[in-house]
Structure formats: C-alpha cells, structure tokens
Chain A
Amino acid sequence: MTSILTADGTPLKDSLYKAEKGRRVKAFLLVAPLLLFVLVSFVFPIFEMLFRSVDNPVLAKNLPLTIEKLQKWEGTNLPDQETFTLVAKELLIARENSKVGKIAARLNFEAGGMRSMINKTVRKVRKYKGNDYKKALIQFDKRWGKVVTWKVLKRIGQRYTGVQYLAALDLKVNADNTIGFQSEDRRIYVKIFLRTIWVSFLVTIFCLILAYPVSFLLATLPLRISNLLLIMVLLPFWTSLLVRTTSWIVLLQRNGVVNDILVALNIISEDGRIQMIYNQTGTLIAMTQILLPFMILPLYSVMKTISPSYMRAARSLGASPLKAFVRVYMPQTTPGIGAGCLLVFILSIGYYITPALVGGRSGQLISNFIAYHMKSSLNWGLAAALGTILLFAVLILYYLYNKIIGIDKMKLG
C-alpha cells in the first residue's frame, strides 16, 4: 500500500510518516479516482488552452533562422543581405511544407495586407534565379524595403508573446514598438468586459431585490405551505435553460404575450409595441429569472435558522417594525446575502447561452466573444487571452466564496 503512494509522488508523502496514515491513505484513495479524472480531463485541458494566449509558434517554428538572425538586428537600418537570403530560402521551405498560408495568416492578424505580401513574394522567389535577394525582394514588394516590416517580423517571431493580452485590452504594439490604443473602431473588448460586469451587477441586484422578500416569506410561513411554495422556486431550477430562454422569446417578442396583454389593456398602442427582446433588456430579464433560485435558496436557508424571538424582543423594547427589521433581522441575514450575491455574480459573469439567444447586439457578453473567436474567426490566441482574464476574475470570486462561505456549505435544493 505504501509503495502505491510513493509512486504517486503526491504531497501525501509527508503525512505518511504521521499517525493514522492508513486512514488518511484510505480516504485519499477514495477521492483519488475523481481527482485524477477532473485534473486530467478538466483542469489540465483548460490550462493547455489558456497557454495558447502566450504561445506563438508559427513564425518561430517555420522561419527559425530568420527569426534568430533578427534577434541580433538592432532595428535602425534595413537588415543585411544575409537576412534577406534567409527569409527567401525559408519561405520556399515553408512552401514545400505548405505552411505559407499559416505564416501569412499570422502576420495578417498583426498588420493588414501582409498576407498578400507574403503570397506574392513566395510566388516570385520561386522563379528568381539570381543571388541578390535584398534587391529582388524589395523589387517584388516594396514593403520589404521598409524597416517597419522587419520590426513586425521580429516581434511576431518571438516564441512567447503578450500581444494577445494587449489585444484583449484594446491595446496594440505600434510599429515603433511602443504600446498604444487600438484605433477607435477596434476598441471593443474593454467595453465588453465593462458591460459584462455591469450586466452581472444588475442581475445580482435585481435577484437580491426579488429574492429577499420571497425568502423572508418562505422562512416565516408554516413549513407545510413554504414547502409547497419552495417547489415553485425549484421548478425553474430544474427546467432546461433552453426551455426558459425559449419562453422568454415567446413572451417578450413584439407579437408576444406580454405585448399583446399591454395592447389589450390599452397601456400601449398597436404601433407602440415595445422591443423587449434581442437587446440588453431581454438579457437582463431572462438572466434574472434564470438565476433567481440561486439567490433565494441560500437566503432561505439562512433565514430559516433565525429565531423570531429576536424580532419580538426588539419590538417589545420599543423598536418600530421597520427599525426592528433593519437593525435586528437584516444583519443576521448577511451570510445568506453574501452567498447568494457571490454565486449569482459568478454564474452570470460567464453566461453564454441566454445572451447568445436573446441578447441581440447590445446584450452580448464576453463569453459570446470568446465563442466567436473560437468558432468563427479562429483567432484562438485572442480567445484564450479573453478566457484567461474571465477565468481569473471568476477564480478570485470563487476563492472569496470558499473563504467566506465555504464551498462545502453549498446546498442544492
């Protein structure tokens, strides 16, 4: 038994020397299969994916000698003849391995138009018979004669890069290697991060406002009635997310139930139907309803334990009902408020499905942009950088949750 664990090499090694080692080993062995499963198929893949945000292999692997040579180049004048020869030769090798497309695409992410430059150069170098590659390349495309082009090449050639993080924060490296803002029309991600935080904040606040009175009611009613009402809270919890999102589309669209009722009640006119879906309003309404149970349940479980005699004591000592509630009851519910708010905020900051379906343009959150770069633009580096920032935020909140409330106190239904 001991040998299994030393081979494992875990920190357990230390505890093996202590008393009760057999029981510790037994307990750990029960946990080990799941821990291994989660580490191998969940934690490790996520780290590997996030590594893509700094990983930058395309140029470093396909034009290795050129890049190595450029590291010594000081960047004031054009590189020497030898560098030109190297890049021409290595582009031809890359062509044989059909890697030119990758190189061109990578450069094009950085500076528009470089794709055509690379493709044109490769085409012409193939037919070139001479030896003066410097002259030839500049003749094929005059951008080879500019220092800026080589600076881009040198920068993109670095094996590891922080450039995706700059892009994720709407920054970029200028041609002269200084850091500056993206052009006005390309500054989107900071805005999206702020919007994600704002939407999550609003959803949390709405959930708290709606959940607090309901939890209070549930906690003060006789158990038989509150159990029945609790089922109404749990039903949305158990109903498919897609079903709930679908119902909100049905309810809120222009010709939907809510607009019909408002028209029938003469609150709005037939032409004045309100657009409540496919925008940020739709995202807010749907997310609030979907996450509400996650606020009610922790609040309810805390309020259930508060004895009514505290309130009675406060009243008998002369406090008004409001004062007794605010000064005596509410402070005792803080653990529930903390747990509910953190949980709802953590869940909403990474929300994807509902904003994608009912968010329209103004309701898209950061997860939707990560999905876009993963599935459509295939800019995995940027997706990974955005994901790392999001994950970091969530992990900080998760850590706080664990510290303040304790993850083992989490209850489901």
Chain B
Amino acid sequence: MVFPPHLGIGGKIAHYSFILFCGFVFVFLVAPILVIIPLSFNAEPYFTFTEGMISFEPEAYSIRWYADIAKNPQWAFSAANSIIVATCSTFLATLLGTLAALGLSQSHMPYKSAVMGVLISPMIVPLIISAAGMFFFYSNIGLAQTLPGLILAHAVLGTPFVVITVTATLTGFDHSLTRASKSLGADSRKTFFKIQMPLILPGVISGALFAFITSFDEVVIVFFLAGFEQRTIPRQMWAGIREQISPTILAVATILVVVSILLLTTVELLRRRNERLRGISKS
C-alpha cells in the first residue's frame, strides 16, 4: 500500500485498523459457511476440529457422513421432493413474473406503484404469516399435504425475485432497438423473440435462480403445508437440527454450500454478460 506523503502516523494506524475491521467482517460473513466443509469430513462424531485434523493426519478425515447420506433413503427421497418442487415452482414463477415485468416496465401501465407493491409483498410479509394463511387456504381447496399445493405456494414466494430482476434488466433496455427491428420489417412476435428476449434473458435466468433457491431453501411453508410424504431437504435438516444434530447434517450442508456456490457463479457470469451486452461495463 502506498500512502500519500502527507499521511501521518495516526492516519496510517487509522487506515490499518480500517482494513483490519473490514477483514474481520469478511471473516464473519464467510467463515461460518466455510468452516463446516472440513468439519463434515471429521472421522469422529464431533463438531469441532480434532487434534488429528489440525495436524492433517489422513486417518482423522473420512467420508463416513457422506456414506450415511447415501445409505439413508430418506435423504434421497427429500432431495427428489425438493428438486421437483423447486423446479416446478421456478418455472411457474419465472413465466408469470417475466410477463408481469414486461407489463410493468411499460410507461402505459396503470397503477404501477400499487400493483408493484402487491406483487413484491410475498417477499416482505413475514413467512410465518404467509404460511399460516396458506395453510388454511390450501386445506380448504384440498391441496394441503400435496406436491401441487407446495409448488403453488413456493411459486408465489419466488415471483417477487423474478419481477425485480427482470424489471431491473428492462430499465436499461433501449427501446430504439425494437423500433429499428420493426422498421426493418419484423413483426412484433419476431421482434420479441429475436431482439428483446435475448437481451432480457440474463435477467430472466438470474430471477429464475433466485426463485429456485428460495423454494429450495424454504422450510416454514413446508412446515405448515407438507406432510411426511412431501418432506424436502430443509425440512429433513430442520428435524435433524432439532432432534439430534449429527455430522450427517454437516455433510448435507456442505453439499448445499457447493450448490449455492455454483448458482452464485452462474448469476455473476450472467450479470457480467448482461452488462457487456448492454455496453455498460465499467471495467
């Protein structure tokens, strides 16, 4: 670090403590997530580093907890449920959310702010209230304790993310592109699929990923709406944490961390591609 010459000793101390503080915050943010990865390979059923692990003895590490997951059919069953629910609800949320965002971003849209307020509300209302409301609603129409009920409930929770990301993509959208396309003879359908769609696609995909992770991680609604047959991974983890926390939970958690790193990387790459396409990249 090169300091300007006028910076005194006090300024240097201030600067270093600032850097130190920021370092501490980054550790606080990331360490809890990363620490469970090595712990999930613990050969002993402890939740802390054994002496063998610290001195990197190979026999202190094992994949027994991962083997446990594979052995227990309940995890495979929950994983299947989670993937089905998350995929279907994401599809629904993305479809409805993208259409709505296309409408909302038009200047002719009436009552824009009020409608937007309603559409974003599933993200704001405390989950426990949403869950309680949906519990009665889906029980009344006979969809409680079924996968379709869970899918619909999760789709509502996912839509705000799609609306927000797609609207954000559309705010930078240059409408002269569609006019150019039309003046060159393309009809509106062709204009949409050839011009508009490719440009907003990154926004749509990151919205979809947000919706996916929302459903994939959701446990409160599952708590109220799902029976044993519809158990998802978070529900299974919840039971594990509540009853008797075993290192198997850490192994599952590690797998989920890897999944979220993959999703995050995808979203980041999409965001950059989007910025590059629209020519607003600053780097």
Q: A38-B156, A412-B165 are in contact. Are A367 and B120 (CB under 8 A)?
A: no
- Closest-CB distance, B133 to chain A (whole angstroms): 4
Q: Does B277 contact A (CB under 8 A)?
A: no
Structural contact, B127 and A352, CB atoms closer than 8 A: yes
Q: Which residues of A contact B125 (CB under 8 A)?
A: 46, 350, 391, 394
The residue from A223, A239, A249 contacting B260, defined by CB atoms under 8 A apart: A239
Q: Which of A38, A248, A346 makes the CB contact (< 8 A) with B32?
A: A248
Size class of the A contact interface (CB-based, 8 Å): 35 or more
Looking at the complex, which of B61-69, B98-106, B178-186, B193-201 is the stretch in contact with chain A? B98-106
Q: What sequence of 0s and 1s flags, for each residue 21-58 of chain B, a beta carbon within 8 Å of any chain A beta carbon?
A: 11001101110110110010000001111000000000
Whether A257 lies near B28 (C-beta < 8 A) is: no
Nearest to A40 among chain B residues (CB) is: B137
Contact A410 B120, beta carbon cutoff 8 Å = yes
Given known contacts A37-B96, A242-B237, A45 and B134 CB-to-CB distance under 8 angstroms: yes
Instruction: Contact check, A289 vs B29: say whether CB atoms are below 8 A apart.
Output: yes
- The answer for the CA separation of A250 and B36 in the assembled complex, in Å, is 8
Q: Which residues of chain B from 244 to 283 have any CB-CB distance to chain A below 8 Å in the complex?
A: 245, 249-250, 253, 256-257, 260-261, 263-264, 267-268, 271, 282-283
Q: Is the CB of B48 within 8 A of A29?
A: no
**Distance in angstroms between the alpha carbons of A232 and B125 in the assembled complex:** 28
Q: Are A250 and B250 neighbours in the complex by a CB distance under 8 Å?
A: yes
Q: State whether B253 touches A243 (Cβ < 8 A).
A: yes
Contact with A along B104-144 (1 / 0, CB 8 A): 10101111010111111110111111101111110000000
User: Which residues on the B side are within 8 Å of A135 (C-beta)?
Assistant: none
Are A402 and B108 in contact, CB atoms less than 8 angstroms apart? no
Report the number of A-B residue pairs with Cβ-Cβ less than 8 Å: 281
Q: Is the CB of B36 within 8 A of A231?
A: no
B219 at the interface (CB under 8 A from A): yes
- B46 adjacent to A255 (CB under 8 Å): yes
Tell me which residues from 23 to 53 in chain A have a Cβ below 8 Å from any Cβ of chain B.
23-24, 26-35, 37-39, 41-50
- What is the CA–CA distance of A277 and B279 in the complex, to the nearest angstrom? 49
CB <8 Å contact, A370 and B267? no
- A112 to B30 CA separation, bound complex (whole angstroms): 51
State whether A412 touches B210 (Cβ < 8 A): yes
Is B18 positioned at the interface, with any CB of A under 8 Å from its CB?
A: yes
Q: Assuming A246-B249, A249-B245, A250-B35, is B108 touching A46 (CB within 8 A)? A: no
The minimal Cβ–Cβ distance linking B140 to chain A, given in whole angstroms, is 9
Q: Is A11 an interface residue (CB 8 A)?
A: yes
Q: Is A352's CB under 8 angstroms from B282's CB?
A: no
Known: A238-B264, A321-B11, A391-B129. A31 touches B238 (CB 8 A): no
Residue from B22, B96, B167, B257 within 8 A of A214 (CB atoms):
B22
Q: How far is the CA of A284 from the CA of B26 in the complex (A)?
A: 18
Q: Give chain B residues whose Cβ lies under 8 Å from the Cβ of A32.
A: 103
Instruction: Provide the residues of chain B in CB contact with A412, threshold 8 Å.
Output: 161, 164-165, 206, 210
CB-CB under 8 A from B153, the residues of chain A are 41
B97 at the interface (CB under 8 A from A): yes
Q: List 16 A-B contacts (CB under 8 A).
A: A24-B110, A29-B103, A38-B159, A46-B133, A213-B18, A223-B283, A234-B268, A238-B263, A245-B241, A260-B48, A289-B28, A350-B125, A350-B128, A351-B126, A408-B167, A412-B206
